[in-house]
Amino acid sequence: MPYTAINFQQKLSLFTEQWTPKVIAEMNDYQFKIVKLQGDFVWHAHEHTDEAFLVLEGQLRIDFRDGAVEIGPGEMYVVPKAVEHKPFAAEEVKLLLIEPRGVLNTGDHEPSELTAVNDVWI
């Protein structure tokens, strides 16, 4: 039976749009999503879940109300649930997100044009 690994670069090559997470794998009720970000997002929080960010390429900053964390390639950070945060990237950054199925990218923030369609597989 053929088994094939999921290659992040190959998946990233399939789209160019930013701020639109794409699901590449599931583990139980959690999803692995890749996304390309650039610029400033909205302040938001996820009331019921932590959120893991792994940087694949580029540099991500996550602002908190009282500080910020810089995350580069080969680094990760877990934003605790209910903590307000705002991702920012001066240049395009390519990320792997891990969070439960059903989490919206804008969290508890009022849905806007930044709210991505959920559960899009690539």
If one asks whether residue 56 binds a second copy (CB under 8 A), the answer comes out as yes
- Report the alpha-carbon distance of residue 70 to residue 22 in Å, rounded: 23
Considering only residues 19, 23, 49, 122, which one is a binding residue for a second copy as defined by CB under 8 A? 49
Half-sphere exposure of 37 (CA within 13 A, CB side): 30
- Whole-number minimum distance, CB 112 to a second copy, in Å? 26
Shortest separation between residue 48's beta carbon and a second copy, angstroms:
9
Distance CA 6, CA 63 (A): 30
Binding-site size for a second copy (CB under 8 A) equals 38
- Choose which of 99, 103, 105, 107 interacts with a second copy (CB under 8 A): 99
- Angle among Cα 19, 6, 10 to the nearest 5 degrees reads 60
Q: Does 67 bind a second copy (CB under 8 A)?
A: yes
Q: Which is nearer to a second copy, 27 or 110 (CB)?
A: 27
Token pair 């989490």 is found at 103
Separation CA 96–CA 39 (nearest Å): 17
What does the binding site for a second copy look like in residue numbers (CB under 8 A)?
A: 1-9, 25-28, 30, 32, 49-52, 56, 62, 64, 66-72, 74-78, 81, 98-100
